[in-house]
């Protein structure tokens, strides 16, 4: 269930009044994400992005620790990121750790290792801050959104839900419902069994039942995670990921249910052959599909808008606004 792949791509700089060039890193439980950007506090100009499927939180739900193998994968990915950061001439690096680092008893060992090699500190943020920066990121270039907005960020270890409007986040929830965590807890068979699917759905439904603002039926739901972008890519049957086609795409719940049925019917090996599904996500994508389906049901909505702007974009805005300060080793 492990793998590592780091890639980067160029963004478009439309010019304008922007601040210093920085790097923001989302150190997730499943995926590491890099953004090199400039921001004036109102918008973010992306210059380069990168990602790596690291599985830092692999086994953490059971052992309470980050494994040595996961740390090594993480360091390899960060080395690739670091080369891009230095080449881009970034003035500062801001890195935030999420669910896996919140949960693991040896997070400090990993953070110290990163400090020694790269000279920047990973700051472990709580669920509220993670939800807030995901909200910032989602709304940083969102089209006009009528009524309340729900932002969904399904990670490897947790799911953050942010509820608010264009004036800001009003409520949030941080749930221990993530793709890696739920797969490790509930999925044992390949192909998956009906009982396993039902158990995972019920566990997600149980946690969502305590989120009162879902009953307010948001006008727009924006999903800012890998689950959303992968499901959108699969729905379009794209062989190569296309950010321009995915970003702001509206994905119907009926299409999510159709994709979920396909994932349930196939073994992991066969899923890897499906158009749009990265091989290193084939084992955990079903959990993500089931989670977003349950969120849509709980919120009473039939579609979700996919966004490629999440936590790392919100972090960039937080830096420009003076809300997020760089840690020191």
Place of tokens 């040896």: 106
Domain with residues 143-306, CATH architecture: 2-Layer Sandwich (3.30)
The helix or strand, by DSSP H or E, that contains position 213, with its residue range, turns out to be none
The helix or strand, by DSSP H or E, that contains position 197, with its residue range, turns out to be helix 194-208
**Is residue 217 very low, low, confident or very high in pLDDT (cuts 50, 70, 90)?**
confident
**Is residue 1 very low, low, confident or very high in pLDDT (cuts 50, 70, 90)?**
very low
Q: Mean pLDDT throughout 25-30?
A: 98
**Is residue 230 very low, low, confident or very high in pLDDT (cuts 50, 70, 90)?**
very high
Q: How far apart, in Å, are the Cα atoms of 314 and each of 51, 227, 311, 318, 319?
A: 16, 19, 5, 6, 9
Q: Mean pLDDT throughout 79-105?
A: 97
Q: Is the dihedral of CA 152, 210, 254, 194 positive or negative?
A: positive
Instruction: Report residue 123 CA to chain centroid gap.
Output: 17
Does position 12 have pLDDT exceeding 90, yes or no? no
Full-model pTM: 0.93
Buried b (16+ CB within 10 A) or exposed e, 243-264: eeebeebebebebbeebbebbb
**Is residue 327 very low, low, confident or very high in pLDDT (cuts 50, 70, 90)?**
confident
pLDDT (tens digit, 9 = 90+) per residue, 109-165? 999 999 999 999 999 999 999 999 999 999 999 877 778 999 999 999 999 999 999
Number of neighbours of residue 21 by Cβ within 10 angstroms:
18
Q: Mean pLDDT throughout 30-59?
A: 96
**Is residue 4 very low, low, confident or very high in pLDDT (cuts 50, 70, 90)?**
very low
Rounded Cα distance between 34 and 82, Å, is: 10
What secondary structure letter does DSSP report for 251? E
Mean pLDDT of the chain: 93
> What is the domain partition of the chain in residue ranges?
6-127+312-320, 143-306
**Residue 303, C-beta contacts closer than 8 angstroms, at least 6 positions apart:** 221, 250, 251, 252, 253, 296
Does position 5 have pLDDT exceeding 80, yes or no? no
Query: 51 is written with which tokens?
Result: 């990602």
pLDDT at 87: 98
The helix or strand, by DSSP H or E, that contains position 171, with its residue range, turns out to be strand 168-175
Rounded Cα distance between 260 and 170, Å, is: 32
pLDDT (tens digit, 9 = 90+) per residue, 271-312? 999 999 999 999 999 999 999 999 999 999 999 999 999 999
Superfamily for domain range 6-127+312-320: ATPase, nucleotide binding domain (3.30.420.40)
pLDDT (tens digit, 9 = 90+) per residue, 48-89? 999 999 999 999 999 999 999 999 999 999 999 999 999 999
Examine domains 6-127+312-320 and 143-306 and report if their fold is the same: yes
Evaluate whether 217 touches 292 at the Cβ level (below 8 Å). no
Give the three-state DSSP class for 173. Answer: strand
């Amino acid at each position: 269930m492990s793998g590592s792949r780091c890639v980067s791509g160029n963004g478009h700089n439309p010019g304008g009044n922007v601040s210093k060039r920085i790097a923001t890193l989302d150190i997730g439980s499943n995926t590491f994400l890099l953004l090199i950007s400039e921001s004036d506090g109102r918008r973010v100009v992306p210059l380069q992005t990168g990602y790596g499927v690291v599985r830092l939180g692999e086994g953490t739900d059971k052992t309470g620790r980050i494994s040595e193998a996961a740390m090594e994968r993480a360091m390899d990915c960060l080395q690739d990121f670091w080369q891009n950061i230095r080449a881009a001439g970034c003035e500062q690096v801001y890195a935030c750790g999420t669910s896996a680092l919140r949960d693991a008893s040896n997070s400090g060992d990993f953070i110290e290792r990163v400090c020694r090699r790269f000279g920047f500190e990973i700051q472990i943020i709580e669920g509220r801050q993670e939800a807030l920066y995901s909200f910032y990121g989602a709304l940083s270039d969102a089209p006009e959104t009528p009524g309340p907005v729900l932002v969904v960020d399904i990670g490897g270890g947790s799911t953050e839900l942010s509820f608010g409007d264009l004036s800001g986040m009003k409520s949030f929830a941080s749930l221990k419902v993530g793709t890696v965590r739920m797969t490790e807890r509930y999925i044992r068979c390949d192909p998956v069994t009906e009982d396993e699917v039902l158990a995972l759905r019920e566990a997600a439904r149980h946690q969502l039942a305590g989120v009162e603002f879902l009953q307010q039926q948001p006008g727009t739901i924006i999903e800012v995670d890998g689950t959303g972008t992968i499901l959108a890519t699969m729905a379009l049957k794209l062989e190569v990921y296309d950010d321009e086609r995915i970003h702001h795409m509206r994905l119907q719940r009926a299409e999510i249910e159709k994709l979920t049925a396909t994932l349930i019917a196939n073994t992991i090996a066969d899923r890897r052959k499906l158009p749009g599904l990265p091989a290193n996500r084939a084992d955990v994508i079903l959990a993500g599909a089931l989670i977003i389906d349950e969120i849509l049901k709980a919120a009473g909505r039939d579609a979700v808008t996919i966004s490629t702007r999440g936590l790392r974009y919100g972090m960039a805005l937080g830096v420009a606004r003076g809300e997020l300060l760089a840690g020191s080793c």
